[in-house]
C-alpha cells in the first residue's frame, strides 16, 4: 500500500494525494465559519462551548462531504471513480487536522486578536503553497 499518490492515476487510490491539502483547507475554513456563526449567537451558552462544537461539526462536515463525494457524485458522473477506503479516511483526518490547527491557535490567541489573524493568514498561505507544489509535482510525473 502506497501512502502518497505521485501520478494522476494514483489520485483517490492512495492514502494521501494532492487533494489532501485541499481537505486541510476545507477543515480550516469550516471551523472558522462554524465558530463565527456560534460566536456571534445571542445565546451565551452556545458562545461558551462553541470551540469544541465547531471542531466536531467541522469534522462531521468532512465526513458528510466524503459520503456525498463517493456516492452521489459517482452516481451522477460528476466524479469518475470512488475513493479508496484509505483515501476517504485520510481525507477526513485532514479535515480534522485543518480544524484542529486553527482551534488550537484560536484557543491561545483569541479569535479577534491581530496575532491570531496574522497566524491564520500564514497557515492558509502555507496550505495553498503545499497544495500548488504537490499538484505541479503530480502533473510533471504524469
| pLDDT at position 63 | 93
CB neighbourhood size of 37 (10 A): 13
Per run of 10 residues, the mean pLDDT along the chain (length 142 residues) is 65 75 86 78 61 86 90 84 85 91 78 70 79 62 52
Closest CA to 127 of 28, 37, 57: 28
pLDDT at 7: 65
For residues 127 and 28, the answer to whether their CB atoms sit within 8 Å is yes
What pTM value is reported for the model?
Answer: 0.77
Going by C-alpha positions, the residue among 69, 66, 54, 72 that lies closest to residue 92 is 66
What pLDDT sits at residue 82? 84
Domain ranges of the chain: 8-135
> Which pLDDT score is estimated for 96?
93
pLDDT at 60: 93
Give the per-residue pLDDT at 113: 67
For the chain, give the DSSP string.
--SB--SGGGTTTSSB-THHHHHHHHHHHHHHHHHHHHHT-S-HHHHHTHHHHHHHHHHHHHHHHHHHHHHHHHHTTSSSSPPPHHHHHHHHHHHHHHHHHHHHHHHHH-SS-HHHHHHHHHHHHHHHHHHHHHHHHHHHH-
Please tell me the predicted confidence (pLDDT) of residue 44. Answer: 59
State the pLDDT at residue 112: 63
Amino acid at each position: 500500500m502506497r501512502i502518497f499518490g505521485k501520478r494522476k492515476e494514483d489520485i483517490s487510490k492512495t492514502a494521501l494525494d494532492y487533494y489532501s491539502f485541499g481537505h486541510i483547507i476545507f477543515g480550516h475554513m469550516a471551523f472558522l465559519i462554524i465558530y463565527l456563526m456560534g460566536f456571534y449567537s445571542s445565546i451565551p451558552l452556545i458562545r461558551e462551548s462553541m470551540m469544541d462544537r465547531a471542531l466536531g461539526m467541522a469534522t462531521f462536515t468532512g465526513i458528510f462531504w466524503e459520503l456525498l463525494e463517493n456516492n452521489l457524485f459517482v452516481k451522477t458522473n460528476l466524479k469518475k471513480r470512488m475513493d479508496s477506503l484509505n483515501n476517504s479516511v485520510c481525507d477526513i483526518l485532514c479535515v480534522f487536522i485543518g480544524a484542529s490547527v486553527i482551534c488550537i491557535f484560536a484557543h491561545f490567541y483569541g479569535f479577534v486578536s491581530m496575532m491570531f489573524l496574522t497566524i491564520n493568514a500564514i497557515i492558509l498561505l502555507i496550505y495553498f503553497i503545499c497544495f500548488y507544489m504537490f499538484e505541479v509535482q503530480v502533473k510533471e510525473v504524469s
